[in-house]
Each structure stands twice: as C-alpha cells, then as structure tokens.
Amino acid sequence: MAFIGKSAFPSIAGGATCILSDFTRYVTANAIGQLYLMDEIIGDGYSAYGYNVLMKAIRREKWDQSSFFPRVTNCYFKVRRMGENIHPYVVQCVLPINLFNEKIYLFLWWWNCLVAALSFVGLIIYFPIFFSCTNRR
C-alpha cells in the first residue's frame, strides 16, 4: 500500500481528506469511550463480557446465569396491616426484562468492538494523511 497518501485520493480535496481523517479519530475514540463507560456503569468485568459469552458458547456450556443481569433476585416488601403493624416480607422476584437486557448489551458490546476495530484499521490506513494534514495547518 505504498500509494496511500495524497495520490491515493485524487478526487478528494486536501481539506476533505483531513476532515475524514479527523472523523476517523473521533469515531475510534467514541467507540473505545463507550466500551469504557459501559464497563464503569455496569460493573467491573464487563469489558470482557462478550468474549466470555463467546467462550462459553464454544465450550457448549450452559448460559443460564449472568452476574450483570440477574434473572431472579430477592425483593423486600413492607406491608401494613390493621393499623400500625408493619410486616416485612422477602420474596423471590423474576426479572424477565433482564433476559432482553442481556441480549441487547451483548449486541452492543460486539457492535462497539467491531466499530472500534474497524476505526482502528481506518486510523492505520489514514496514518500517512494525518502527518500531511498537521503540516498544512
């Protein structure tokens, strides 16, 4: 790929090429930042969530529990009966929405990894153009 540089994009003006290279940098930073934020919000260990699910699928392990999206949990209730008597109850609650959340966040994890990887490839391809853009400014 020795032809990458100014001559590789003859139909694109120099300013447009610089904008495209800047855009590639921003998209890469955005994808990596989203993976970092999802790891911070959901909890430690989420950065390898999709990889761990894939490894379980390859080993044909049962994928029935997730520490990030529990399907069953304990719910605490206080019920008032006959005046001022408050009775605390602990019951098991099923959280069916977490079944969907688990799949959605798995898709988002793989999507962000794909976008980050493709953006990084774009950064490598446009690397010679970055230097020509900084020299022009």
Indicate the DSSP class of residue 63: -
Q: Which pLDDT belongs to residue 32?
A: 85
Q: Which pLDDT belongs to residue 2?
A: 46
CA distance readout (Å), 21 to 4, 17, 40, 89, 109:
13, 6, 29, 59, 25
1 inside domain: no
87 inside domain: yes
Q: Which pLDDT belongs to residue 1?
A: 45
6 inside domain: no
Domain count, the chain: 1
Q: Which pLDDT belongs to residue 136?
A: 54
60 inside domain: yes
pLDDT per residue of the chain (137 residues) written in tens, 0 to 9: 444 445 444 444 455 666 666 777 788 888 888 888 888 888 777 778 888 888 888 998 887 777 788 888 899 988 887 777 888 899 999 989 988 988 898 998 899 889 888 888 887 877 776 666 655 55
**Do residues 74 and 91 lie in contact, with contact meaning Cβ atoms separated by under 8 Å?**
yes
Q: Which pLDDT belongs to residue 59?
A: 92
7 inside domain: no
Structure tokens at 75: 């719910």
What range does the domain containing 20 cover? 13-136
35 inside domain: yes
Q: Which residues make beta-bridge pairs with 73?
A: 93
Indicate the DSSP class of residue 6: G
4 inside domain: no
pTM above 0.75, yes or no: no
Structure tokens at 29: 């930073």
100 inside domain: yes
Structure tokens at 26: 């921003």
